[in-house]
Amino acid sequence: MKTNLKPWRADAKSPQISNHWKNRSRKFPIIGSFRFIAASLLLSASAAIAAEFPSAWKNVQPVTVDKTGLVRLSVPLETLDAARPGLEDLRLYDSSGREVPFIIERPLLAPNAVMPAKNFRVALVGNSTVATMENEIAEPIDSIVLENPAKDFLKGVTLEASNDGQTWQLLVRNEPVFRQPDGANKVALSFPAGTWKQLRITLDDRRAAPIPLTGARTYAAGPAAAPAEPFDLKIADRDELPGQTRFTLQTAGARIVLAGLEIETPEKLFTRRVALANRSFIDNEIRENEIARGQIYRIALEDQPVSENLSFAADTSLPNRELILTIYNGDSPPLPITAIRAKRRPVLISWMVSQPGTFHLLSGNRTCPPPQYDLNQLPKNVTGTLVQLLERPALGTNPSWQPPEPVPDVAETGIAIDLANWRFRKPIAFDHPGVQQVELDLETLSHANQSFSDLRVVRGGMQRAYLIERTGFSRSFAPDVEKLADPKRPTVSRWQFRLPNSGLPLVELECEADAPFFRRDVTVTEEVPDERGDLNPVHRGSASWLRASGDKTSTLRILLSGPITTDRLVLEFDNGDNPPVELKNFRLTYRATRILFKATPGTDLFLYYGNREANSPRYDLELVAPQMLAAEKSKARLGPAEQLKKAPWTEREHFQGLGSWIFWAALAGVVVVLFIVITRLLPKSNG
């Protein structure tokens, strides 16, 4: 097991017994002992009640220790939840209110040695693919990963091992391995650790064609598994989106190292790709950053027990308390999820205890530097006794705590702004002071610049700094649909979508079809007016939709390229010489975008947008983006839009419709003027 020690140093001394009590105990040993014990108990009780802790720390958690010497304690989850991500604010105090030095340990599992197979040979033997290889790892091995380029297969694998090439021992019998087109796969085999020189792999080809095996990697057996403890996850949000299920999870603590995330489902047979992400500030925007990926499955071969894996993300560090779990369903229906469970690697602290008693863990200071302790008094190369807590200690509030201002370094000040060129604004409503989070609605997305360079948060004529968050999830809506007929192309089915606004940043269109099987080419176009007002079709997406017989998937999708500039789209479905396919349940999808800013109740707060000439603002707020992300956020709301300025004539719909007529009228006027001029220049007739 690999242990990462992070010592913190500072000067602190253990309490000393006064000379007065030492002398009294020598003269009257029994009386002295009773008096010492009574005084100690009284002193401890009064100190526990009267001890005052620093007012900058919010949380206090008592921990009772019944041992002496060097002890180790797994920091309770409540304290990890309340502490800062790097535990810089963690402090330990005894019952008399004195700070106690300690060290932090984060046990992690050391990576196993890996080695590619040597002399890898493959042969087809009857209805099997048989591969033999030599193992070059001298120590015991406990797993092997098969290498092959096949993209879609499901096979039963038998693994045998030998040290002389004559006598073979069975390690794995007919265990399923697979890979699906969406990337979900299981190509690793685990077995009891042992020292082997040769391995033989047999793939059962009776149910499907053979697949090419190109190699394998063997892994040395690692040390004993690193310790793991269960901890609670809170599901803050769940979204069923096209092709994926998305969970927003709140963990009880930051900078936790996951021992694994387990997903519970009653589904009998399935495979799914899964991913874990967090939000971080990158390139002046808040984005989702994938920190782990894997696959969960429950599969079975004929006459074989079910093989399953429902967990992933082992030994993954969580940078903050919010996680985004995405389950990729593809064209399959969403999995019924009954629970999401997690285990963590414990965080251990060690310190010297001179006498049993109650200690206090302090946390919840967002600005303090990490402590520096002088730990020379702790014994070297000695493992402390692990303390088992009989009761789960409650996390309480420090009576001396004074609540700090949320993100105190961010002041609610700004500079004056000239809003003459902004066309729209919306009031922003919120219920609590602090960091606010507001999602842009369709109306705002329609009139704002694609880069959001024209967004301004304004109060009293002064702009306030904000951060843009381009999320990794989508929203969808159902457009108004009208089926169109084209007499010139009777084999083409056409649908027109009327959008609630023009200029929407749409990314996908989906619908459902009732036909049991079909193959169709589909295109999406937009009729965009040119400078003369003439409507020209612009390609926005195309796909080849295929449904095989027996395919239960009813949803069809097509990616859209934009931006969409008008409020109409047309879908064309080429039926060829086949009967028309009826489509229904149309939905359009766009990426959700949010902004973060700090605000307190006061005068009206507005979001301004709709200025085509505005440049992106540059705020110093990006320097404290991590603190903004870590702060507790309130959901603000956008009110109804107020139009401040009309659009230029060239952007108005009625002008675009009249553009062609104005062009030809102007051209006719020019022709008339030229005719008059030419007529006057011609010589007059004398007759």
The 10s digit of each residue's pLDDT in 502-525 is: 888 899 999 888 888 888 889 999
How far is the C-alpha of 528 from the C-alpha of 536, rounded, in Å?
5
Nearest Cα neighbor of 467 from 341, 601, 328, 621 is: 621
Rounded average pLDDT over 450-473: 89
pLDDT in tens, 601-642: 888 999 999 999 999 998 888 888 877 877 778 899 999 999
HEC sequence for 59-89: EEEEEEECCCEEEEEECCHHHHHHCCCCCCC
pLDDT > 50? residue 238: yes
Contact (Cβ atoms closer than 8 angstroms) between residue 545 and residue 532:
no
Q: Is pLDDT above 50 for 79?
A: yes
Among 22-31, 411-420, 453-462, 555-564, the range scoring the smallest mean pLDDT is 22-31
* Same domain membership, residue 250 and residue 186: no
Identify whether residues 370 and 440 lie together within a single domain.
no
Confidence of residue 366 (pLDDT cuts 50, 70, 90): confident
* 570 lies in the same domain as 480: yes
**107-121, 184-198, 247-261, 279-293: segment of lowest average pLDDT:** 279-293
The pLDDT assigned to 262 comes to 94
> Same domain, yes or no, for 76 and 156?
no
How many separate domains does the chain show?
5
Whether the CB-CB separation of 452 and 468 falls below 8 Å is answered with: yes
Average pLDDT score over residue span 438-467: 92
Distance (Å) of CA 444 to CA 469, 566, 607, 614, 635? 15, 15, 9, 16, 17
Mean pLDDT over 179-186 rounds to 79
Q: How confident is the model at residue 367 (pLDDT cuts 50, 70, 90)?
A: confident
- Residues 382, 286 share a domain: no
pLDDT, mean of residues 642-656: 63
Q: Are residues 237 and 161 in the same domain?
A: no
Whether pTM > 0.95 for this model: the answer is no
Residue 2 reports pLDDT greater than 80: no
pLDDT at 47 over 50: no
Q: For residue 225, is it within any domain?
A: no
Cα gap 679→664, rounded to integer Å: 22
Rounded-to-integer distance, Cα 371 and Cα 357, Å: 23
Least confident of 32-36, 313-317, 607-611, 676-680: 32-36
Same domain, 288 and 320: yes
- For residue 625, give the H/E element and its range: helix 625-630
Beta strands in 561-675 (DSSP E): 568-574, 583-599, 605-609, 633-635, 637-638, 642-643
Reported confidence tier of residue 562, pLDDT bands at 50, 70, 90: confident
Asked if the structure places residue 118 within a domain, the reply is yes
Which of residues 366, 397, 428 is at a domain's end? 397
**Burial class of residue 363, CB neighbours in 10 A (0-12, 13-18, 19+):** buried
Do 556 and 487 share a domain, yes or no?
Answer: yes
Whether 10 is covered by a domain: the verdict is yes
Indicate if 522 and 629 belong to the same structural domain.
yes
pLDDT, position 48: 42
pLDDT the model gives residue 15: 34
pLDDT surpassing 80 at residue 644: yes
Average pLDDT score over residue span 481-499? 89
Q: Which of 324, 345, 366 lies at the terminal end of a domain, its last residue?
A: 345
CATH code of the domain in which 291 resides: 2.60.120
| Statement: residue 395 has pLDDT above 80 | yes
**Which is higher by pLDDT, 599 or 683?**
599
* 238 neighbors 247 (Cβ within 8 angstroms): yes
> Number of C-alpha atoms within 13 angstroms, CB side, residue 504?
27
The residue that leads in pLDDT, 409 or 458, is 458
DSSP bridge partners of 133: 199
Residue type, 512: E
Q: Are residues 98 and 242 in the same domain?
A: no
- Check pLDDT > 50 for residue 39: no
> Same domain, yes or no, for 336 and 409?
no
Give the CATH number, domain containing residue 190.
Answer: 2.60.120.260
Q: Report, as an integer, the average pLDDT of 438-454.
A: 91
Q: Residue 687 falls within a domain, yes or no? A: no
The reply to whether 674 and 542 lie within a common domain is no
Closest CA to 361 of 83, 5, 7, 15: 83
Q: Would you say residue 623 lies in a domain?
A: yes
pLDDT of residue 35: 44
Give me the pLDDT at residue 427, please: 95
Q: Which range, of 77-86, 257-266, 483-492, 610-619, averages the lowest pLDDT?
A: 77-86
- Is a pLDDT exceeding 60 seen at residue 402? yes
- Flag whether 61 is in a domain: yes
Q: Which domain holds residue 241?
A: 230-345
Q: Is residue 498 part of a domain?
A: yes
Share of the chain above pLDDT 90, in %: 36
The candidate with the shortest Cα–Cα distance to 82, out of 401, 435, 353, is 401
76-85, 136-145, 470-479: the lowest-pLDDT one: 76-85
Per-residue model confidence (pLDDT) at position 685: 60
In a domain, 123, yes or no: yes
CA 560 – CA 530 distance, rounded (Å):
21
What sign results for the dihedral spanned by CA atoms 670, 676, 679, 680? negative
Q: For residue 372, what pLDDT is reported?
A: 87
- The mean pLDDT value for 28-52 works out to 43
Mean pLDDT rounded to a whole number for the chain: 82
Which pLDDT value is given to residue 10? 35
Give the pLDDT score at 642.
93
Residue 671: what are its φ and ψ, rounded to 5°?
-65, -40
- Other C-beta atoms closer than 10 Å to the C-beta of 445 total 22
pLDDT, tens digit, for every residue of 346-361? 889 999 999 999 999 9
Phi, psi of 285 (to 5 degrees): -140, 155
Bridge partners of residue 278, in order along the sequence:
289
